[in-house]
Amino acid sequence: MLTPGTLRFLAGFVFSLVIGWFVFPYVLYERIEQPLQFSHKVHTGEAGGMSCTDCHEVKPDGRFTGIPALEKCATCHSSQVGTSPHEKRLVDEYVAKNREIPWLVYAQQPENVYFSHASHIGSVECANCHGDHGSTDSLRVYERNRISGYSRDIWGSSISRLARKATWDGKKMDDCIGCHESRNVTNTCLKCHK
Amino acid sequence: MNSKITRREVLQFVGGSALGVLLSPLPWKVLDDTAIWTQNWPWTPKPKRGDIAYRTTTCTLCQSSCGMRARTIGAQPVSLAGTQHHPFNQGALCTSGLLAHHLRYHPSRVKQALKFSVQAKSHSTLSADDAFRELSAVLKNSSSVVIVDERAGRTVSALYAELAASARTVSYAPVSARGISSLNRLAGNASLQAGYDVDNAKCILSFGAPLFDGWGTPSLAARFFDKRGTQKLIQIEPVRSRTAEMASKWIVSRPGTDLAAALSFAHVLLEERLVSASALKSITDIDELALFLGAFTPEVVSKQTGIPPATLRETARAIASQTPSVCVTSHAAGDDVQDAVMLLNILTGAVGTQGGITLRAEIPGMRSAAASAKQSVQIDDLPDHSVNVFILDESLSGSSIPDTLLQDKLVSGGQGVIISLSPFVTPRPFALQYIIPSTVMFETLGDTTGPFDAARSGLALSSALLPAPDGTLDALQFVQKCAETLSVSLSSTGSSEEILKKRIGALHASKRGQVFMTSTGETTDVKQLATADDLWNALVEGGCWIDEAVGVNARALSFRVMPSIKHTRQTQTTDSNTLLVYPIVESSAYSGKTVSPLMSKVSQESGLRLSAQDAYLNPVTAAAHQIEHGSTVALRTKNGTMNVRAKLDARTMPDVIFVSCTAQSCGNQSAIASSAQDVRLLCEVSSGGSYTPTPVTIQKVYL
Amino acid sequence: MDKQLIARGVTRTSLKNFYLWILPWCLLLAVGLYAVFLCLAKGLNQTNMDNRFSFGLWIYLDLTVIALGAGAFFTGFLLYVLKRKELKAVINSAVVIGFICYSGAVAVLGVDVGQPLRSWFTFWHPNVHSMLTEVTFCITCYLTVLAIEYIPVVLKNRKLKKVPSMLVFEFELHKLMVVFAAVGTFLSFFHQGSLGGLYGVLVGRPFAFRPALGIWPTTFFLFILSAAAVGPSFIMLTTWAASKISRKSLVKPDVYRYLGKISGSLLIFYIILKAVDTMFWINTVSTKGFSPAGFYRMQEFGTWILFTEIVVLGLVPAIMLLSRRVRANQKLLITAGAMACAGIVLNRYVMTIQTLALPTLPFDVFMSYVPSWQEVATFLAVLSYGMLVYSFSFRYLTLFPQEREIQSV
Amino acid sequence: METTQKSPRYGMVIDVDRCTGCGNCMVACAVENNVPPAQAKVTERTGMTWMRVSKLDNGLPFPENRSVYLPVSCQQCDHHTPCQSVCPQNAVEYDIESGIVAQIPVRCFGCRYCMTACPYHARYYNWFDPEWADGIERTLNPDVSARMRGVVEKCNFCHGRLQAARAKAAADGRKTESESDYTTACAECCPTQAIRFGNLADPKSEVSILSKSPSAFRLLEDLGTEPKVYFRSEQEWVHTIVKKTSSSELKEHSNG
């Protein structure tokens, strides 16, 4: 039988649980739209027929170009080829004005982290870390941690990190270490910190 | 607040929520994120990412013209290194060269034309056009304008000379590499060009020249070490400097007695008949000289220099017997010392011989140096207070001409004007000064001649990796502007590229010399290159041109030495127990230049180098005055008082306080804000333009 | 209110006097907090520490304060575990002193580290080989224990007793006290030792390095012993000081003598071992290419410092404390206690400051360091914090159970 | 060329007879590793120099005084690494794949215990927030992250260059970096080639041959920390002085 005291206690208990588990995550992350919409599907599908490496290439010195520069887009989109309004914006606002597109990188690793695509490509699938990003039709909202400034993809979708959906859900150091261990690759600091 | 709720009830609720929070991610996630925040503080700069490339070019900070390889992010150089196998510098750079890419962003960079009133009490900014409008008035109304060119041999030098030729009131004062100018003086021929062939010298006699510390190209030390044993270096200096430590022999001499030593060597050479007949013949006034030198017996000179007579004689014999030998002086040495040492080179027959001082042929494609020479004057020869306007070209490496010299030559009463083309603020309180903002390295296309410590003359181009800031001029544009204001028309005008291409074209046409290409790392004859553009590209890509070993025939030369030698002042004998202050050349690599703030690593942060606020003391001297290492002391001479930080160093001569001759302005704040003291000013300047040891009193300052 | 808080049967000075007493300490605290703010906001360039003197005043005082605070655990150990009833008279005071010392030390550490917000890394990514990890873990745990030990003292307060549940809680807690005392003792043994190990393991600092017995360098055991030895002396001193300041006798004289006796018997033991250790060190250090004499050739730090530490402030007070005649005379007893404490203070100074001042490399020199006002002020803040906590506890809580009976007599 | 099968142990051999004390290594290091310039308050004792050229002299008076310059960076101790064992939170690690003693400033919380432990004083604390004159931050090296105030940092043998070399190896399908792709900034920019860098584990490499020569020595060898930075000198007195540690040699002040 619950005394009023116990009830008040429980009330407080439940109240802060709700705050901690549901309100806090919502407040912590700031949702930002990408400057421009982009469909990997269209580019890689029959229409585009391009492969990942057409835009995201590894230089001979082993450096990864990451998101391609505007000139890459301009090679095809110097003028509008399709009907999409987003493409129109691409041409008018960026290609025409020769302004780089300020993409928000979902998988952006922190400044102190060194990640070499060259040494992962081949042994690890792109999807392993980037999920189905390569086949999406639109760019999802970018979530920025208001305290640390990191992309939410680093922490992962589960606020407790207990329910990790897949290998690509979360790219914290522990995740890298876990993957390395599972493939018995060494985890020395200098491998990944600059 | 509702009175029904008691304190206890609140506590119960709080207790519950406290427990709840601990069981939620909130505190733990916040803990993690705040830690991550400390790892990415917004005020900690993030290096810019971008495409990485390597570009080769030429360093223009000094005459050595070292080949350098820049690692660039986008267009921005982020680190520099020497070009491997480059004929000028063999892949070596000096400390300031390694930091050259910071100069573009130096705190004391001039972004707009500046006008400093006399005493530099105030300064105002003005647009380039206004500046030149005012300047044309200044130039038109002044009867004597002197263009000082401390990097003679560039394309712009020819244009300066041309300007001087066509404008009645203007004269051109080229400052060729120290020492070489003495050759011009003694030979009475301003067009002579020469270089020190130190690599092939068997014996090098150095009067305090910092050979391994920036005197020549940065690779000089390495070149000497690789020849260890086969080459002899005799260093005469009052301190066991970096060079003295590495030299084959170090001779301790009292500060400021180089002149006496040099003359005593000359005395011995004549007395012991160690001079070749041809050398004797080349000196027209040899008898007069012999008479004059009679006074400088090793015994007499020994009293001044503190060098035993025997050592003086041995050394003289060494340079005479171990030929080819060459005698060199420090950049800071006065003309009197320079001339006396050049006299030694003449007597030993070093002039015009391999391993001595090689005479260089003119670089093709230039307005004939002989023609330029006609208008050229030596600053020292100008009568005092006769110059209305000095035009200083400080665009490449600042100016190493002592302010005191300029002050003496300028019309008195602060009426003099200095027009300085400079990237940095260089206030000169004794004159009305205009500073025209110039480009710095990596911002401009320019040419530079090869090092003076090489047998053959050379030429290289520095390319513009970055866009020049608005309102800045390079020397070639500046000289054209000046020509405009004086309504003089120059032979070659247009963009820097056009003018330089003309010269390189002519160079190619001459089919002379060889060219080093960074693309292949090999050296080929100019003949092999089909078009002038091939040569141009090779040079723009950081290669260099080297002349053939053809030189002027030394036999043709004759020297009249007495005019410059005879009025050399007798070095006063200072009895050894008076305390003296004397500037030493710590590193001439950045002598008097504006250097990157990062230079604090070697001075302020480690004490490796003497900074402008430091002074070396011998521990014995320090103990005598109760001075500890690092304590602040006041130095008082009749020129004034300055506070310096004492650094005890057993390599320095007792009873002499050594201050830095290479006071440089690095540091994070602008030069206007911090007028770094120049400790050299404590010392008196000799008639020869060098600093002389000056009696000083020292006193510990309690802060 | 004030009156109702003060325990029955004891008298306390007027509220006005009390305020006059705490006012200067509050001011000092304020100044100190400002210094702390400077250090946290601008970084440790506010201190005079440098790359050579990477540890300074703060670390030295942390070591000292923690050594002196050892009285808490050792008294607790003797009382609850070894059932030394005489010590009931001072245990509460001892606990408060301990709490003050440890919380103070931890607070200063928070300022001393460059990135306090990352401190928890030590718990998340611990390096089990590091003595500092051991220290951090033990001190944090022991601080919690002290807090728990402190609670019943607080709950005994006249006003709080009125709340029934509190009384129950206090009673239950008291029954557990023996457990906490045991745990506390265990923890303290460890971190007192690890603090010694901190220097003993420094292979790069032959002056401080000591060979290992088992897994710990000898300094590990010396620190435990020395702390245990002076702990009681410090309790003795503080009790004496408290009674002088409050002009009341708080414990029966035999308590002082008893504390002195414990202190003395441990101290003599410690000093002997310390002497042996030093001898051993002198013979081994030369194998590292260092001459033991060389360490003492540096201007301030002559062999006198070693002599003072071991004989003047070690052997002498030990013998004094052991002689019944000395203990009988309170003046001498207190003096001896003070000397013993001074000895340990000096020992910690040598381990921290002299170790850093001495050069290691051939081209490297003896260096000295003077703390900046920010460093001093921060320390004074801790001191005044301690004073305030103790003053309040003394006024409103029963630190000395015997006080009432003494007064009623 | 591939390195030997067993993982490399990088090290340096510095010929002090060739060192003119010019300071190139110090500035080249600072440029490579984004070490900030000094602020006004900074002194020799709070300066930030991963590579520091110190003067070693024979202690004799003028003019007998002889001196050499010793460029001292982290000595990369191979055994009983003094700093590594004391760090409470594993911010220091002995990198088994290169022999480098790795310092990870983002893990460090600035207790400075490692600095107390290092006999070579090769570790530096960020007493100040890093500050570059406006614009110079554009010249920072993207391969190395800039550190923040309140952490310890030191020479990591230009690990940015090691990572670049490894990336290149991966791109070429090689397992290990090739030594020709990897050298430190100080070695690269030494105008007299006094600093040689290479793999000590490879018996054929220049450094391991030089390190075995009788003229080679290491600092504080008796401590048994097995540094991977060697020095060389043909001058007898240098060896004698280095053997004596400063505690046995009384020194009341430094000599410049």
Q: What is the pLDDT of residues C295-354, one digit of tens each?
A: 888 767 888 999 999 999 999 999 999 999 999 999 999 999 999 999 999 999 999 999
What stretch of H or E contains D124? strand D124-125
Q: ∠ CA(C183), CA(C186), CA(C187), 5° rounding? A: 85
Query: At C162, is the pLDDT very low, low, confident or very high (cuts 50, 70, 90)?
Result: confident
Measured N-to-C along each axis, helices C57-68 and C88-112 cross at an angle, to the nearest 10 degrees, of: 160
Strand-strand pairing, B67-73 and B76-82: antiparallel
- Which residues are CB-neighbours of C236 under 8 A, at least 6 positions away? C256, C259, C260, C263, C333, C334, C337
Question: How far is residue C322's CA from residue C5's CA, in Å, rounded to a whole number?
Answer: 41
* Residues of chain A under the 70 pLDDT cut: 1
pLDDT, tens digit, 9 for 90 and up, residues A38-73: 999 888 887 778 888 888 888 888 888 888 889 888
**Cβ of C118 and B31 within 8 Å?**
no
The pLDDT of residue A102 is 93
Q: Is C40 on the interface with D (CB under 8 A)?
A: no
Hey, which chains touch D, using 3+ CB pairs under 8 Å? A, B, C
* Chain D residues touching C363 at Cβ < 8 A: 54-57, 70, 246, 254
* Chain A residues touching B33 at Cβ < 8 A: 28, 145, 147-148
The dihedral through the CA atoms of A85, A88, A94, A100 has a sign that is: positive
**Cβ of B76 and D140 within 8 Å?**
no
pLDDT, tens digit, 9 for 90 and up, residues C231-265: 999 999 999 999 999 888 899 889 999 999 999 99
The residue among C227, C288, C223 whose CA lies nearest residue C262 is C227
Within B460-518, where are the H helices? 475-485, 496-510
Whether pLDDT at B622 is above 80: yes
The residue among B505, B539, B537, B511 whose CA lies nearest residue B525 is B511
Q: Is D93 on the interface with A (CB under 8 A)?
A: yes
- Which residues are CB-neighbours of C23 under 8 A, at least 6 positions away? none
**Cβ of D24 and B93 within 8 Å?**
yes
Question: How far is residue D127's CA from residue B199's CA, in Å, rounded to a whole number?
Answer: 47
pLDDT, tens digit, 9 for 90 and up, residues C14-25: 899 999 999 999
- Which long-range contacts (C-beta less than 8 Å, at least 24 apart) are formed by D210-215? D210/D13, D211/D11, D211/D13
The dihedral through the CA atoms of B227, B230, B235, B240 has a sign that is: positive
The pLDDT of residue D251 is 42
Query: At B674, is the pLDDT very low, low, confident or very high (cuts 50, 70, 90)?
Result: very low
Query: At B69, is the pLDDT very low, low, confident or very high (cuts 50, 70, 90)?
Result: very high
Whether pLDDT at B119 is above 70: no
Here the tokens at position B156 are 């712009």
The whole-number average pLDDT for the span B341-360 is 92
Taking CB atoms and an 8 Å cut-off, how many pairs form between chains B and C?
10
pLDDT, tens digit, 9 for 90 and up, residues B432-487: 889 999 999 999 999 998 898 888 889 999 999 999 999 999 999 999 999 998 88
Whether pLDDT at B552 is above 90: no
Cβ C99 vs Cβ C71: under 8 Å: no
Q: Is C297 on the interface with D (CB under 8 A)?
A: yes
Q: Is D236 on the interface with B (CB under 8 A)?
A: no
The pLDDT of residue B1 is 44
* Chain D residues touching C288 at Cβ < 8 A: 222-223
Q: What is the DSSP letter of C70?
A: T
**Cβ of A16 and B37 within 8 Å?**
no
Q: List residues bridging with B283 in a β-sheet.
A: B559
CB atoms closer than 10 angstroms to residue A51: 11
**Cβ of B40 and A149 within 8 Å?**
yes
Place of tokens 């333009």: B689
The pLDDT of residue C408 is 75
Question: How far is residue B503's CA from residue B509's CA, in Å, rounded to a whole number?
Answer: 10
Whether pLDDT at B294 is above 50: yes
Question: How far is residue B640's CA from residue B409's CA, in Å, rounded to a whole number?
Answer: 22
* Chain D residues touching C282 at Cβ < 8 A: none
The pLDDT of residue B666 is 44
Omega before residue B324 within 30° of 0, cis: yes
Taking CB atoms and an 8 Å cut-off, how many pairs form between chains A and B?
84
The pLDDT of residue D4 is 43
* Chain C residues touching B38 at Cβ < 8 A: 115, 117-118
* Chain B residues touching C43 at Cβ < 8 A: none
C119 to chain B: closest CA residue: B35
D:60-79 residues touching chain B, CB 8 A cutoff? 60-63, 65-68
Q: Is C201 on the interface with D (CB under 8 A)?
A: yes
Q: Is D131 on the interface with B (CB under 8 A)?
A: yes
Residue B387, SS3? strand
User: Most B CBs within 10 Å: which of D17, D29, D31, as the mutation test of the B interface?
Assistant: D31
The whole-number average pLDDT for the span D94-123 is 95
Whether pLDDT at B376 is above 90: no
What stretch of H or E contains B622? helix B619-624
Whether pLDDT at C117 is above 90: yes
| CB-closest option in B47, B222, B608 to D53 | B608
Question: What type of residue is A187?
Answer: N
pLDDT, tens digit, 9 for 90 and up, residues B296-342: 999 999 998 999 999 999 999 999 999 899 999 987 788 888 999 99
- Alpha-carbon radius of gyration of chain C: 22
User: Could you give phi then psi for residue C136, rounded to 5 degrees?
Assistant: -55, -50
**Cβ of B649 and D256 within 8 Å?**
yes
The pLDDT of residue B177 is 67
Secondary structure E strands in C153-269: 212-213, 216-217
Whether pLDDT at D171 is above 80: yes
* Chain D residues touching C355 at Cβ < 8 A: 116
Q: ∠ CA(C50), CA(C53), CA(C57), 5° rounding? A: 105
| CB-closest option in A111, A119, A189 to D166 | A119
Q: List residues bridging with B249 in a β-sheet.
A: B234
Strand-strand pairing, B389-393 and B417-422: parallel
Residue C203, SS3? coil
Q: List residues bridging with B649 in a β-sheet.
A: none
* Chain B residues touching D196 at Cβ < 8 A: none
The pLDDT of residue B672 is 36
pLDDT, tens digit, 9 for 90 and up, residues B198-237: 999 999 999 999 999 888 899 999 999 998 778 999 999 9
**Cβ of A190 and D144 within 8 Å?**
no
Instruction: State how far residue B59 is from chain A, nearest Cα, in angstroms.
Output: 27
Question: What type of residue is B545?
Answer: W
Q: What is the DSSP letter of B560?
A: -
Whether pLDDT at C219 is above 90: yes
**Cβ of B12 and A63 within 8 Å?**
no
Strand-strand pairing, B514-517 and B640-648: unpaired
**Cβ of C361 and D244 within 8 Å?**
no
Cβ C342 vs Cβ C61: under 8 Å: no
Question: How far is residue C336's CA from residue C317's CA, in Å, rounded to a whole number?
Answer: 5
pLDDT, tens digit, 9 for 90 and up, residues B536-550: 999 999 999 999 876
Query: At B592, is the pLDDT very low, low, confident or very high (cuts 50, 70, 90)?
Result: low
The pLDDT of residue D249 is 45
Secondary structure E strands in B519-631: 522-525, 544-546, 580-584, 614-617
CA dihedral B488, B493, B494, B499 (to 10 degrees): -150
Whether pLDDT at B572 is above 70: no
pLDDT, tens digit, 9 for 90 and up, residues B40-53: 999 999 999 888 99
Place of tokens 């003018």: B499
Query: At C104, is the pLDDT very low, low, confident or very high (cuts 50, 70, 90)?
Result: very high
Q: Is D140 on the interface with A (CB under 8 A)?
A: no
Question: How far is residue B171's CA from residue B168's CA, in Å, rounded to a whole number?
Answer: 8
Question: How far is residue D84's CA from residue D102's CA, in Å, rounded to a whole number?
Answer: 9
Instruction: State how far residue A19 is from chain B, nearest Cα, in angstroms.
Output: 8
Within B23-154, where are the H helices? 26-39, 95-98, 128-140
The pLDDT of residue B671 is 38
Q: What is the DSSP letter of B61?
A: S
Percentage of chain C modeled with pLDDT above 90: 62
B40 to chain D: closest CA residue: D148
Instruction: Name which of B25-29, B319-323, B668-672 the model is least confident about.
Output: B668-672
Whether pLDDT at D246 is above 50: no
Cβ D55 vs Cβ D40: under 8 Å: no
The pLDDT of residue B574 is 54
Question: How far is residue B423's CA from residue B557's CA, in Å, rounded to a whole number?
Answer: 40
B37 to chain A: closest CA residue: A148
**Cβ of A118 and D102 within 8 Å?**
no
Cβ B604 vs Cβ B611: under 8 Å: yes
Cβ D179 vs Cβ D172: under 8 Å: no
Q: List residues bridging with D140 in a β-sheet.
A: none
The dihedral through the CA atoms of B608, B614, B617, B619 has a sign that is: negative
The pLDDT of residue B412 is 84
How many helices (H) and strands (E) in chain A?
11, 2
* Chain B residues touching C117 at Cβ < 8 A: 34-35, 37-38
pLDDT, tens digit, 9 for 90 and up, residues B481-534: 999 988 888 888 899 999 999 999 999 999 999 999 999 999 999 999 999 999
A194 to chain D: closest CA residue: D144
Q: Is A183 on the interface with D (CB under 8 A)?
A: no
- Which residues are CB-neighbours of B60 under 8 A, at least 6 positions away? B396, B397, B441, B446, B448, B462
D96 to chain A: closest CA residue: A188
- Which residues are CB-neighbours of D81 under 8 A, at least 6 positions away? D92, D94, D101, D225
**Cβ of C121 and B35 within 8 Å?**
yes
Query: At B361, is the pLDDT very low, low, confident or very high (cuts 50, 70, 90)?
Result: confident
pLDDT, tens digit, 9 for 90 and up, residues C42-94: 999 999 999 999 999 999 999 999 999 888 888 888 888 888 888 888 999 99
